[in-house]
Amino acid sequence: MAITAAGASNYCEMVTPIIPMNLMGDKGKFDDFIGVWDNFVPPAFCNDLITFFETWQKQALITNSERDMPLSNAYDLEQHAMNGGNQFKTRKLGRNDLGCMIDTMNGHLASQVNQYLQSTLNHYCTEYDSLGSVPLTSWHVKMQQTPEGGGYHVFHHEDGSYNESNRTATWMIYLNEDFEGGETEFFYQKRRIKPTTGTVVIWPAGYTHTHRGNLVLKGTKYIVTGWFYQQPV
């Protein structure tokens, strides 16, 4: 089931938001076109997603994320990740996270994720109301596990190729916080968001919000993520 910006589309099925717009109040914080809803998704549901992922992982049904090159040792990787000198050479670092598409594997869990997203998307589009005339849809719910020293630490933006050019915004939900590092860092905004369980973040997909996931220094990080796409009218 796809989710859409409120009132934007009548050809995509609308997901019922977990919290209606009139009750969202001050649940979101907005700055530099980055929306943050702290601890918005209940920890129990976040744990359900992690448990589902780990079960699939044990069954060896997880596929590796695209990899450009093998990871170096954690020290070298940290130096690369924290040194801004070569960050825009996107082939410089590989990635060592694992990912699966929840929407193709467990429709029930994906629908629940989409209910929380629908609430935050409606709130975001109210704050930045020019989006109200743009049909936005999110189809995919991608889950990622990032181990200690892993991940993709190069600054990038989410509409950087022709195939990605219809991405309007990016969304992410942090599923845990029992690890060190792993902040989402925005280059031009000089801002780092520290992961906390159940926090939802939405930001523009374009170059103005070039970002990276910082190195996980200890433990394992879990997120679900995806994109809001602009649909033809």
Report the chain (233 residues): mean pLDDT per 10 consecutive residues. Answer: 46 68 92 97 98 84 42 39 35 66 92 95 93 82 92 84 80 98 96 98 96 95 94 67
- Give how far Cα 10 sits from Cα of 2, 115, 216, 229, 232, Å: 12, 18, 41, 15, 12
Query: Which option is the CATH number for 31-53+99-145+166-233: 3.90.280.10, 2.60.120.620, 3.40.630.30, 3.10.20.30?
Result: 2.60.120.620
Specify the pLDDT at position 152: 78
- The reported pLDDT for the residue numbered 56 is 86
Going from the C-alpha of 188 to that of each of 8, 192, 213, the distances in angstroms are 30, 11, 15
Residue type, 166: N
| Contact criterion met (CB below 8 Å) for 213 and 152 | yes
pLDDT computed for residue 61 by the predictor: 47
Q: What is the pLDDT of residues 19-34, one digit of tens each?
A: 988 889 899 999 999 9
Residue 230 near residue 169, CB atoms below 8 Å:
no
pLDDT at 87: 35
